[in-house]
Amino acid sequence: MDAILSKNSLATLATVATVLQFLTGTVICNRYIRKKSTGDTSAFPFISGFLSCFMWLKYGVLTEESTVMLVNFIGSALFFCYTVVFFIFSVNKREVIRQMMLISCIILSATIYTSLETSSEKSIRVIGLLCCCLAVLFFASPLTKLAHVIRTQNTDSLPFPIIVASFFVCLLWTAYGVLISDRFIQIPNLLGGILAGIQLTLYVIYPKQKTSSSGGPRYSPLVSESPIL
């Protein structure tokens, strides 16, 4: 009984934290709506977010894991809406269409495979590996920014609130993966938590620069607009 309560509590915490993290995209979309333009930003964070959530949703359906299904159904819907908003105000609609065609091919291929594969265990393994690879690629994207931070010894380019949120969300999903003995949930979230932890330690190594009253150097933060998935 205690184990069931523990699992349900952890599932609820992980779901709420992840959905709140997904909702950060509304702030970015609101900015696009106010400006009536997306400027030179890319739709890839939204499109890749949709792909990731959709594939994890498929994995949740295959494993009959209701928590994974719920959170990624919400995530898929949100990121689809974000992508539509981006497309409406995009200055380069052709590039958005090209990226959407690419992920559509991946989704279609995965759907055809799971419908034709007779072994459910093999389907779960293949889709799980695909989800892991996608998650690792997305988690690895900030590595270029880490190189910039170390080179300049300045953490202004790192979005602190998003990193903290990502750290705790990854910890929750890692714990949930351990609880249900699912390595496909454990491994990518553990890696994501480690990467977020490394970024947080950089705030200790390179404290934020204080602007002097004599008009010293000011840094223009390169805050990522990519919602952490």
**Is 216 a member of any domain?**
no
**Is 221 a member of any domain?**
no
What is the radius of gyration, based on Cα positions, of the chain? Answer: 19
119 secondary structure, DSSP code: -
Task: For residue range 89-117, list pLDDT tens digits in order.
Answer: 998 899 999 999 999 999 999 999 999 98
Contact 167, 196 (CB under 8 A): yes
| Number of domains observed in the structure of the chain | 1
Contact 77, 25 (CB under 8 A): no
**Is 123 a member of any domain?**
yes
**Is 83 a member of any domain?**
yes
Contact 192, 170 (CB under 8 A): yes
**Is 121 a member of any domain?**
yes
Closest CA to 191 of 155, 224, 142, 157: 142
Where in the sequence is the domain holding 126, given as residue range(s)? 1-205
Task: Enter the pTM of the model.
Answer: 0.81
Assigned token pair, 109: 């291929």
Q: Which residue has the tokens 């979005």?
A: 159
Task: For residue range 121-176, list pLDDT tens digits in order.
Answer: 999 999 999 998 888 777 766 666 777 778 887 777 677 777 888 889 999 999 99
Task: For residue range 48-64, list pLDDT tens digits in order.
Answer: 889 999 999 999 999 99
**Is 215 a member of any domain?**
no
**Is 93 a member of any domain?**
yes
**Is 52 a member of any domain?**
yes
Give residues with Cβ within 8 angstroms of 158, minimum separation 6.
142, 145, 149, 199, 202, 203
